[in-house]
Each structure stands twice: as C-alpha cells, then as structure tokens.
Structure 1
Amino acid sequence: MAASNSKCGGPAVGIDLGTTYSCVAVWRHDRGEVIANDQGSRLTPSCVAFAGDGDGAERLVGDAAVNQAALNLTNTIFEVKRLIGRRFSDESVQEGIKLWPFKVVEGREGRPTIVVRHDGDERQFVPEEISAMALAKMRETAEVYLGKTVKNAVVTVTVPVYFSNSQRQATIDAGAIAGLNVMRIISEPTAAALAYGLEKMPVTNRARTVLVFDLGGGTFNVSLLNVDPGVDIDMGVFEVKATAGDTHLGGADFDNELREFIRKHGSSDIKSNQKALRRLRTACERAKRMLSSMAETTIEVDSLHQGIDFCITITRSRFEELNNHLFARCMEAMESCLRDAKVDKNSVHDVVLVGGSTRIPKVQGMLREFFDGKELCRSINPDEAVAYGAAIHAAVDMILREVTPLSLGIRTDGNHTMSVVIPKNTGIPTKKVKNYTTLYDNQTGVLFAYKGESASTKDNNLLGEVELSGIRPAPRGAASLDVTFDIDANGVLNVSPEDRAHRGEEQHQHHQPQRPPEQRRNRAHGSGGPEAQDEANQVNRSSICDNAITHIGSTITQQSIIILQYWLGSCLWP
C-alpha cells in the first residue's frame, strides 16, 4: 500500500456517527486504526446527558451519560440520529416521541427541538447541536490518540444511504459545530465496502460484485457495488450500482418490539412509568444480545414497578416471531436493490455483514437461504468497518462512485404529477437540465422539489419549495425555463431554474445572515457563561439547514450549507 498521507497532508479521520454507538478511526503508517475511548472501548454510546446544578452542573457524553441515565431520564438524550434533519411533523419523529423519556417540541420552522433542564434552567437544543457533542467526543478521542489537534484534519463522516438532503446537510453542520473539517459525506455501506475491499477481499485481478448488508442500531442500508481494489490502494475503483434502505429500522426497533410485548403481557401497566420503561428496555437489549448465542434467556428486573420484581423467559423463536415483519422489510429492501441493479443473486460474489444487528441468527439465516447457502463474509468487524472505511477514504485518493437512492424531480401541474429530473441510482456527482414552459397566461408560481418513486408527488417526499418573484407576464407557453438539478459528491442537491429570456442578465440572490459557526461551536463544547447561553438560545437557528430552502449570499464560507438555491427573476410553477 503506497499512500501514507491524507489528501491534505494532515491527519485523516473517519467517523461513524451511529444511532446507538459512534466510532472513530484514523489512517497512519499506511493503515487504518480504530481508536479506543477513555474507557478503553472502541465504541462510544451516542448519548448526551445534562446533569447536576450549580458548581456540579456538567454535560456528559458517551459512557458517562449512559451510566447516569436511570437517575436522569428526562435529561439524557439518545437516538438523536432519528431526529436530525427531520420535521417535527414527520411520522417517524412522532412515533419516537412516544418512546423517548426526554422532551421533544416543535421549534422554529417546524423543526424538532430537544428540551432539557440544566443548572436550574430550561434549555433547548436542535438535533445538530446534540450530534455535534457526540462528534466532538470523537474528535477528542482522536486527538488524545494522535497527540495533536485535528482541527485541520481531513474528516469523512458516514450517513445512511437514504438520508435526505436536509439530513446530510444537518450532519455536515453538526461537524462544523464540533470544529471538524468535514471533507466528505459518504454512505455507510460504501465505507464498509472500502474496508472490505482493501483489507479482507480475496486477492484477485478481477472486479467482484459485493453486496453490503448493513443493519445497525437505528438504520438499515444495503448496497451493491462493483469493487476493483487495483494493484495498489490508490488505484482502487468502488462503484455503487444500486442501493436501498430504511432510516428507521435497526436494533433499537427489535428492542422496542420485545419491550412492548412484555409491557402488554405483564401483570401491571408501566406505560406511564418512564423509569420502569427505560430499565425494561435496557433488559430487553441485553436479552436480544444473549439470544444471538442462546436458545432462550431470562429477563429479570428487580422492583420494576410498584416494588414488584419482574421475571420472564424469552426464547429465540419468540423474539424472531415478534420481529418477523422487521426482518421481512430488510429482505424486501435487499431484493429491491438487486432488481434496481439488474443483477441476479447468483452473480453476487460476496455478501458482507456490517452493523451489530447482523449478529442476530435470524438475519444470517435469511441471507444464507436467499443466496442458496452462500458463506457470508464476516471477516471485518461489523461494529468498526464503517469508521475504518471512512478513514481510508479520508486518506486515499481513489475512484468512488455513489448513487442517488431515490428519484428527484418537480411537480409540474395541479394534478401533482411528478416530473423526474434525476432517476434513482444515478451516479453522483451529476448535473441534469430539463426544460419547462408555463401552463397558464401570466403564470407565476412556486418550484416544488420532491424525492420518491411514485408518479404522484402526493406519495413522495417534499424536499423544498421556492416562491418566485419578478416574473414577467407572458402568454401560456411563452416563458421557457431550464431547471438544473445538480448533486455534488456528498449527495447534496442544488436546484436552479433559469428563465431563458433572462439568460445572460445579472441574477439577484436573496441574502440571509449566517450565524457565526463559532457561536454554535461554543454550545457544542459547553463554553460561554449564562449570558452567552441565553444569547445562543435566541439566535435564529434557521441558519442550520433543514429541508426547506436555504437562501445564501454570494460569499459562502466553508460552513455555509446549500440545499436549494434559486434566482429571483426566474420562474417556475406548481
């Protein structure tokens, strides 16, 4: 392996920001190294807690946060990855609120906002800020190991393949708040494929078709890739052919199904007892792990509710029965991925398991059965492979081609017809231009951008909308618009409609003031006194991107984030 330096000559860092656990790796001495935290573990819980009052007030991240959770439920935040970049009204957010002991309210612009009590005051944080605290912990872990700061390091952070524009942007913003130079966002299965292809794949002079099955704590991803590692590390070619997944499917859902079964069939109702529910969930997670190696196990919780001890025996078959519908969703997504790639299952050379939930025997059994007894690749650590691959990508120049997981387009008429501009599984980065004309005389209107596979936008997800002004009156069909969809290597979409009649004229942009990244960074690192905290709470958080349109000026800092950009004086219509 020839490459020894990162793409910028500084440290190369890869971070897997997971739903339940996070992991960090670095590239040095021509190889990747997964780093242990201050507790000696290479996995750090993605958990943040606000504890104590007065001189004892502190913010805890990782194992320390988990260890005090039972005594501080409402101020211990976990699974924030299921909130980041989403709207408060999203169905998945509302379902999560029913299960989380901490408080989530609707904040500015319809975004979920987490409310905690800390040092006697009520404080609010958007998901990006909580994620930034977890990322800062990963940064600190890397700095202790390297003996130097990673402020100027090249950092690759991974996300699920189905993360939307707003979720990807929010992840980048969280990195900026944490003081990281996030060079690239890549999908989790692609990162795992890098780790497998460069470290564990059989030595061959031919490309191989690799299916990465990534079932983690909160998300599920599956990708099919053509992998050619090349004769040297910087000559590798990794090309994603198709991808599928679910941003709300993982080990936490298996735990919840088991917990709900026990709650409904228990001798007493503990639905309103958050402390009991948390203890039961922890016991269910432990039982799930035990059932990966045992046929049955016992769930015991002393004084679970009203001083009554709880004990129940759960078999592996019952656990599998409770979660059959979730296992089926995994297999349906995998089959969809193969269909989209137009690849027969017999043409798959390697099936690589990634994510802690792939240890579940039922998952492995379904995969072996589907692939007619094929031996599954378990040579890479399923918990660490994503961070390891991210570090490789941060360090080494190689050809990496990802795809957009869903079709992208606009609504073109009053019947909610979806006009696809970029089909799903199109390689990125990419740029597509499509021409449209007005439907009515003197028409003005709004550009609605969607993602999804339905012919009707009613069944697809709205990415954003732009109210356009300065449109010159024109008869039906007289105005002609070129709509450009431009996706960068991070999977971030930029949409720009241009009126052909105005081409070449000066375009005007709407400027929106950006909150200095340092102010947001101070909140992530806990700096600043009460006055700074109060000021930070009042800052317009719309500068942290969501799935509405972000208007930006002509001077864009590295922390500025583009979702959809438009020019006033262009026009499009619903």
Structure 2
Amino acid sequence: MSLNKMAASIGIYFGGTTSCVAIHKDGKTEVVANDAGDRTTPTAVAFTDNEKIVGLSAKQGRMRNPVNTVMQVKHIVGRKFEDQVIQDLKRQSPFKVVESKGLAGFEIEANNKKNIVSSLEVAGLVFRKLKEIAEHQGGKDMKNTVLTCPVDFSDGQRAAVRKAAEAAGFKILRLISDPSAAVLAYEIGVTKPHDPCNVLVYRLGGSSVSVSVINVTNGLQRIIASKTSRECAGDDFTKALADSCAIEFKRQSRMDMTDNKRAKGKLYNACESGKHVLSTINSATISVDSLYEGMDFHSNVTRAKFESVINTPLQRCLQVIGTTLEENGMTAADIQKVIVIGGSTRIPKLQNVLKGRFPESELLSSISPDEVVAIGAAVQAALLSSREDNIACSPSDLQTPCTAKSIFIKVVNEDGTSLLHPIVPKHSYIPLRQQHYFTVPKDQDSLSLQLVEGEPASSPDETTKLGKIILRDLASEEPQEGKVTLDVHLKRDGTVEITCSESVSGSMDSLVISPSAKNSEDKTTKE
C-alpha cells in the first residue's frame, strides 16, 4: 500500500477570524471550498430565535444581530473567565462574554430568553460546519485529522479545542502548532534534510500577530523562539482605512457618521473587502449605498493611498519581529527562510518590508497565506495515517514536542518582594526531568512554593497559578541550614510531577498537575 492510495486525511486550521479545511488524497493536498465557493470560512456563529448560523452568513448578519453573533471563539475557548485576554474581549466585543463554570462563555438572547452558551459549544458548532465542508469532497468515512493551534496555547486551551473537534466527529491524530504546519506545507527539511535551516514564520491574523523561529535539521523541527502580540493586528488596517473613508465622507456630505454604529459597521465591511482587493490590484472602489442619513458613499482608493493610511499600524505589526529576534539573541543573518501566514500578509508593502529586513533570506508566499497552515496539517495527517498501515514516514514527521510556556516557582525575598524563578523554560523538550537546589535559613520552620505558568516578562497579566507545595516542621534540635531539592518531571502527555524534599528534617511534599489542571486552579491533586 502506498501513500498515494491511502484514504483521505484532513488538516484543519481553526483561526480567530477564518478557518480552513484541506484534504490529502491520492497523493495530492487540496483546500476544500465551502458551500459559498470560498476556500476559507469565517469563524463566526450567530444565534437567532430559530437557528444557529455558522460562517459567512453569520458574519454578514452581525450588524443586524451583534449581541448574538460570536466572533473570536478561538481566543476564548479553554480560557478562565478572569484571564486578561477574556477581560479585554469582554470590554471590546458587542456580544456578551460571561462566566460559565469558571470559564468564559456567552450570554445569548433568543425567543425572549437569555441563555448561557459555553465557548466549547460555540467552537463545536464551527467544527461541525468544517466537518460538513470536508465530507462534501472526501466522503463521510473520512475522519483522520490533524488540528493546528498557536504556539502559545496552554494545555487547557489545546484540550478544549481538541474536545470540540472530536465532539464534531473528527478523529484527532495530533495537535501541531501553526508555524510547524506551515513548514510542513513548504516541505522544508525534506528536499535537503541534512542542511540546517532557521525558518521565521510571520503570522498576521485579524486579532493578533505572532513570530516564531523554527530550526529544521535532518527533518526535525524545533521551535527556538516565539512571541505573540494582541496590541496590533490585521483588523487595524481595515480600521485605518475605514477612519480615512469616514473623514472623506464628512468632507463630501458635511455630516459626521462616526457616532452611528450601523453606519460604521457598513463602512467597515466595505473597507474590509477593499483591503482584500488592494492586496492584488492597484485600486479599489469603496462603495456603500445609503451609508448615513440617506447619503451614499463612493470612493476610489489607490494602493499607494492605502499603504500610506496603514503605515502606522503596519510598522507596529512588524516591530514584533525585531523584538523576537533581539530577545533571543538573533539577527536577520540567522534566518534562512521566511514564511507568511494570514490574509493581511498578502499586502505587497508588508512583503517588500520583509524582503528588505531579510535580504539574504528566501521569502515563501507561493502558497496562499490563508491556506498554508491547513495544507501542512493535512500533510501531517497523511503521514500519521500511514503509520497505522506500517508505512515509513517522511523525516518531516519527526517533530519534537516542546513546552508552550515557562513554569516558575514564586520566591519571596527578605524585603517582601516576590520573584519568579524559572524551573522549566519555554520551548523545553518533552519529556523532561530536572533537579533544582536551594537552601533554607536555619531559623525557618516551613517553606511554601507557589508554581505558575506563563511569560511574565512579556505578559505579566497572563500567568496562571498551577499549585502549591508546602514543607512543614523544618526546624531541628540543632538548627542548621537545610538543602531543598526540587525534582521536576514533565511527561509526554503534558502532566507535570513535582517532588520537593528538605535534607535536614526529611520533610517532603509532591504535586501532580494534569494538562487540564493547568487551566483550572482547583484541579491540582496532592499525593
């Protein structure tokens, strides 16, 4: 049996703004179009009195039904309600984000009733839509799937996304990171497996921007740097263009429409379409009938004007690249290839800036930035499916699992200030075993160590408490300085086992943190 004659395998990119499905069948990988003929599907879910709508229709109807149209569920599912990202979305979104069993959910109004819908249920509706799209081309027997997620997703977020996909009927073989899937799509490390290569993957989505650097050697991928920022994104380009058009409308009509939400929404949608057009041709017409007070709006926008309008947010989005390289002691000379992900990376000016910043690197953009992640995931699904039939896999299947975030212990100084001491750095290989040593003063009779996960240096508000270890009765008849040993074991399934012992008193305590517990403080178990 050969790979060319295997059953179809599925790759899914579950995005914050759009999602994409690709199928690997008969040796070919193709993106599947939805029922509207589009190769990507808006990650939007709308609730009405009679039905639940997913995709383009939900997105198009959000002006009429903003409170019941949920967007950005990718960034919400699996997060605790008090998470800073959730609180930011709660303030910014027209739909109502509420607490649902400790996690973030949504308040939906239908049939004159208010109901709480979990983020897991909303994500499940998106995956059911993606399942319908996949089955349209590959048939109902096709299940083997690889799903992608951001590098910085916590274990709790990964588990939630996987659960939602499996509930929709997908058989998830593996979750891989978005940049790893992009590297697979371009077959980096396959054609020249013995040549080490550093690949910078630049993702510019609608609500965030991220940079990852992946080292590929002998087909083995290792993420050596990554950073995500939600302070700038592709939607900022649309907003900048909409603001410019609003000023032009005021000049034409002598009326200010910026306080009218409906008018702003209509103009935003028109500018979003115009942005896509300007990524491929030199001019676009922004046209809205009866924009405000019965007045129409029509404007021809050239690419040069568009690039001028978006220059400020564009530079902010590109700053993440320099910050990522600098924080990891790298320069442009260390990068051999650059891959772009996300629809906004089609903008010619952005690609020209990238070419200027990495003059010696190869810019890879031949595969659609909206589709490249799903294509790579489908390739990975086919490789994993081949294992079930005892067929040798390509070296590109050899990916090294790494930790998405760092794990720290909280240490309190004599002056009462607290510091975070890293015990498992971000991107550490899994599985992992480590020992850490420190001393306890002679007169101290107890020790409490709090464990947290996150990246406090770059995102101080996004750390998660994992649990606490307490050593008691440390004082002895002859006081002496004791040595504390901290054993850390990180297993392949994401479980963290930590044992702490003190040499003089023999006091010991241990903690087991399951992957799901990393997203909920009350699920840690003491042994």
Residue equivalent to 1:449: 452
Partners of 1:399 and 1:510 in 2: CA distance: 27
Q: Is the 8 A contact 2:453 2:466 kept in 1?
A: no
Q: Secondary structure at the match of 1:400?
A: coil
TM-score by length of 2: 0.81
State the distance in 2 between where 1:179 and 1:248 align.
35
- SS of the equivalent of 2:521 reads coil
Aligned equivalent of 1:250: 233
| Cα distance in 2 between the residues matched to 1:27 and 1:249 | 34
* 1:161 and 1:221 in contact (8 A); partners too: no
Q: CA deviation at 1:42?
A: 2.2
Q: Distance in 1 between matches of 2:400 and 2:510?
A: 33
The yes-or-no answer on 1:377 pairing with 2:364 is yes
Question: Structure 1 stretch 430-439 or stretch 355-364: which is displaced more?
Answer: 430-439
In the aligned structure 2, how far is the partner of 1:287 from the partner of 1:417?
Answer: 49
1:215: how far off?
1.9
Identical residues among aligned pairs (%): 30
Partners of 2:112 and 2:313 in 1: CA distance:
42
Name the residue aligned to 2:488.
Answer: 484
Contact 1:45 1:66 in 2 (8 A): yes
Q: Is the 8 A contact 1:241 1:425 kept in 2?
A: yes
Compared CA separation, residues 28 and 432, structure 1 to 2 (3 A): farther
Shift of 1:119: 3.7
Q: Distance in 2 between matches of 1:464 and 1:505?
A: 21
Structure 2 SS opposite 1:401: coil
C-alpha distance in structure 2 between counterparts of 1:453 and 1:15, whole Å? 31
The residue that corresponds to 1:36 in the other structure is 33
Per the TM alignment, residue 370 of structure 1 is displaced from its structure 2 partner at its CA by 0.8
Report matched runs for 1:381-396 at 5 Å: 381-396=368-383
Mapping for residues 51-70 of structure 1, pairs under 5 Å: 51=48, 53=49, 57-70=50-63
Q: Distance in 2 between matches of 1:87 and 1:248?
A: 21
Tell me the distance in 1 between the aligned counterparts of 2:513 and 2:181: 37
Deviation at 1:288, TM superposition (A): 1.5
Q: Tell me if 1:113 matches 2:105.
A: yes
Instruction: Provide the C-alpha distance between the structure 2 equivalents of 1:2 and 1:178, rounded to a whole number of angstroms.
Output: 29
* Greater mean alpha carbon deviation, residues 351-360 or residues 334-343: 334-343
Tell me the residue number matched to 1:159. Answer: 149
Pair 1:50-2:51 in alignment = no
Q: 1:261 to 1:291 in 2, by over 3 A?
A: same
Describe how 1:165-314 pairs up with structure 2 within 5 A: 165-197=155-187, 206-227=195-216, 236-246=219-229, 249-260=232-243, 267=250, 273-312=260-299, 314=301
Correspondence for 1:412: 411
Post-superposition CA distance 1:267-303 (Å, at most 9, x none): 4565664433322221121122233245554433222
Q: What's the RMSD between the two structures over aligned residues?
A: 3.9
Contact 1:449-1:463 at 8 Å conserved across structures: yes
Structure 1: segments with no counterpart, 5+ residues: 231-235, 512-542, 552-564, 569-574
- Distance of 1:458 and 1:247 partners within structure 2: 11
Alignment size in residue pairs? 502
Q: Which residue of 1 is the match for residue 463 of structure 2?
A: 462
- Give, in whole Å, the separation in 1 of the partners of 2:460 and 2:517: 24
Residues 392/436 of structure 1: CA separation in 2 closer, same or farther (3 Å cut): farther
* Letter of the 1:401 counterpart: T
Equivalent residues of 1:495, 1:566 under 8 A apart: no
Runs of 5+ unmatched residues, structure 2: 384-392
1:558 — aligned with what? none
Deviation at 1:165?
3.9
Q: Structure 1 pair 416/60, CA: closer, same or farther in 2 (3 Å)?
A: same
C-alpha distance 509-197 of structure 1, shift in aligned 2 (>3 A): closer
Structure (1/2) with the larger strand percentage: 2
1:8-23 superposed matches below 5 A: 12-23=9-20
Counterpart CA distance in 1 for 2:108 and 2:262 is: 16
Deviation at 1:148, TM superposition (A): 2.6
State whether structure 2 residue 340 is matched by structure 1 residue 353: yes
Q: CA deviation at 1:193?
A: 0.3
- For residue 547 of structure 1, report the CA deviation from its aligned partner: 3.1
Higher RCO (CA 8 Å, separation ≥ 6 residues)? 1
1:286-330, CA deviations, whole angstroms, 9 ceiling, x for partnerless residues?
122233245554433222334343445555455445544443344
Deviations 1:455-489 (A, max 9, x none): xx9936322142567x5433396584525262647
Q: Residue 365 of structure 2 aligns to a residue in which SS?
A: coil
Letter of the aligned partner of 2:453 in structure 1? Y
Letter in 2 for 1:227: V
In the superposition, relative to structure 1, how do residues 33 and 430 fare at CA in structure 2: closer, same or farther (>3 Å)? farther
The alignment partner of 1:69 has SS state of: coil
- Equivalent residue letter for 1:250: A
> Deviation per CA, 1:176-215, whole angstroms, max 9, x where unpaired?
443434332221111000010169x866763433322222
TM-score calculated relative to the size of structure 1: 0.75
Q: Give the superposition deviation at 1:399.
A: 1.0
